């Protein structure tokens, strides 16, 4: 072959190889998407979908209560610099609108619960009304139903695709993989409760955080506080709850990881029911705890609940 022609073919081949490699090279050198999630449970969901392409900063970390959160100036700066901010919505983060305004956030804001039909105190929360609490506010704890979290995952993936189109295939693939794990988890929770008679599925918790779990899995939850830990438990409501525990011989009494345990301890003393342990409602545990991820949290809570109602 003519040397000049050989050189031409070689140059063309190198050029084509470079073009073929360039997307991979660009992916390796692209800085991760800067994301902020309002609280630890949502942060874990964003990490599952985002993978290595997304750096997630969580405002309300493990073991902390988003109901009463007050952002620091440094957190406001991070929100202002974020390309995308994820919140739960349904009134869970009453401070989010002010924070986005104060921070001057110009990126995308994704409400992860969008499309979910919320429960209300007078609707899906018959158990709350029995406890003497009458609120019309939406129950924000939609993540307590695994099927709802599949909606969260779809909203997260769409938000990331709109922010980082080049990574959309990755986000959709991660979302599909995680959704398969969620479907398996949902089936497992249903199977665990199916073995327990419906009349036996009664649980006392610190605040009314498990309405979606109750509806999804056929469990009755009663709580001295309303859907927010900021609400006060009335003496009348606590007295009614104590009478109901005695009358119906409810065995499962739990404190929550984010709540003051004194009220549950008082109810335990008055009813003779020993608290069965701790549940994770609004926050994950740290990495060393039993609920460092959403999947682990739901498995841990379900095991604790089903053992307690059996009197184990």
**What's the pLDDT at 225?**
53
Write out pLDDT tens, residues 174-228. 999 999 999 999 999 999 999 999 999 999 887 778 999 999 999 998 876 544 4
Q: Find the range with the poorest average confidence among 21-35, 39-53, 74-88, 227-241.
A: 227-241
Torsion, Cα of 55, 57, 58, 62 (10° steps):
70
Report phi then psi at 30, rounded to 5: -70, 130
Mean pLDDT, rounded, for 109-133:
65
**What's the pLDDT at 122?**
43
Write out pLDDT tens, residues 81-98. 999 999 999 999 999 999
Rounded-to-integer distance, Cα 284 and Cα 292, Å:
5
**What's the pLDDT at 186?**
98
Rounded-to-integer distance, Cα 127 and Cα 132, Å:
9
Which band of pLDDT confidence, cut at 50, 70 and 90, is reported for residue 22?
Answer: very low
In the predicted structure, residue 301 carries a pLDDT above the cut 70: yes
**What's the pLDDT at 34?**
98
In the predicted structure, residue 173 carries a pLDDT above the cut 80: yes
Separation in Å, CA 280 to CA 37, 83, 143, 171? 18, 30, 12, 27
**What's the pLDDT at 216?**
97
Q: 3-state SS of the chain?
A: CCHHHHHHHHHHHHHHHHHHHHHHHHHHHCCCEEEEEEEHHHHHHHHHHHHHHEEEEEEECCCCCHHHCCCCHHHHHHHHHCCEEEECCCCCCCCHHHHHHHHCCCCEEEECCCCCCCCECCCCCHHHHHCCCCCCCECCCHHHCHHHHHHHHHHHHHHHHHHCHHHHHHHHHHHHHHHHHHHHHHHHHHHHHHCCCHHHCEEECCECCCHHHHHHHCCEEECCECCCCCCCCCHHHHHHHHHHHHHHCCCEEEEECCCCCHHHHHHHHHHCCCCCEEECCCCCCCCCCCCCCHHHHHHHHHHHHHHHHCCC
**What's the pLDDT at 307?**
94
Report phi then psi at 62, rounded to 5: -55, 140
Which band of pLDDT confidence, cut at 50, 70 and 90, is reported for residue 234?
Answer: low
Question: Considering the chain, what is the average pLDDT of its residues?
Answer: 84
Mean pLDDT, rounded, for 298-303:
97
In the predicted structure, residue 2 carries a pLDDT above the cut 80: no
Residues 6+ apart with CB under 8 A from 30: 53, 166
**What's the pLDDT at 274?**
80
Mean pLDDT, rounded, for 62-71:
89
Write out pLDDT tens, residues 135-164. 458 999 999 999 999 999 999 999 999 999
Write out pLDDT tens, residues 239-271. 777 777 787 778 788 866 556 667 777 878 888
In the predicted structure, residue 23 carries a pLDDT above the cut 60: no
């Amino acid at each position: 072959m003519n040397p000049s022609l050989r050189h031409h073919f070689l140059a063309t081949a190198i050029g084509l190889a470079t073009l073929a490699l360039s997307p991979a090279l660009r992916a390796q050198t692209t800085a991760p998407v800067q994301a902020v999630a309002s609280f630890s449970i949502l942060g874990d969901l964003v990490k599952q979908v985002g993978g290595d392409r997304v750096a997630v900063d969580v405002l309300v970390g493990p073991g902390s209560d988003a109901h009463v959160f007050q952002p620091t100036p440094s957190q406001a700066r991070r929100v202002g610099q974020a390309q995308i901010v994820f919140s739960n919505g349904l009134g869970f983060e009453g401070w989010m609108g002010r924070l986005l305004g104060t921070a001057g956030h110009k990126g995308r804001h994704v409400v992860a619960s969008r499309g979910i039909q919320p429960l209300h105190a007078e609707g899906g929360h018959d158990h709350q009304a029995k406890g003497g609490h009458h609120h019309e506010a939406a129950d924000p704890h939609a993540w307590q139903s695994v099927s709802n979290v599949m909606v969260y995952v779809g909203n997260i993936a769409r938000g990331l695709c709109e922010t980082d189109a080049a990574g959309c295939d990755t986000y959709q693939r991660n979302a599909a993989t995680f959704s398969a794990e969620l479907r398996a988890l949902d089936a497992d929770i249903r199977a665990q409760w199916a073995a327990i008679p419906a009349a036996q599925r009664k649980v006392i918790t610190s605040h009314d955080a498990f309405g979606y779990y109750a509806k999804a899995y056929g469990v009755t939850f009663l709580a001295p506080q309303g859907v927010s830990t900021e609400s006060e438990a009335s003496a009348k409501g606590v007295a009614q709850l104590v009478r109901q525990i005695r009358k119906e011989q409810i065995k499962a009494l739990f404190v929550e990881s984010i709540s003051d345990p004194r009220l549950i301890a008082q109810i335990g003393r008055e009813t003779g029911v020993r608290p069965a342990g701790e549940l994770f409602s609004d926050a994950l545990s740290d990495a060393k705890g039993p609920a460092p991820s959403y999947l682990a949290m739901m498995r841990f809570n379900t095991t604790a609940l089903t053992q307690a109602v059996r009197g184990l």
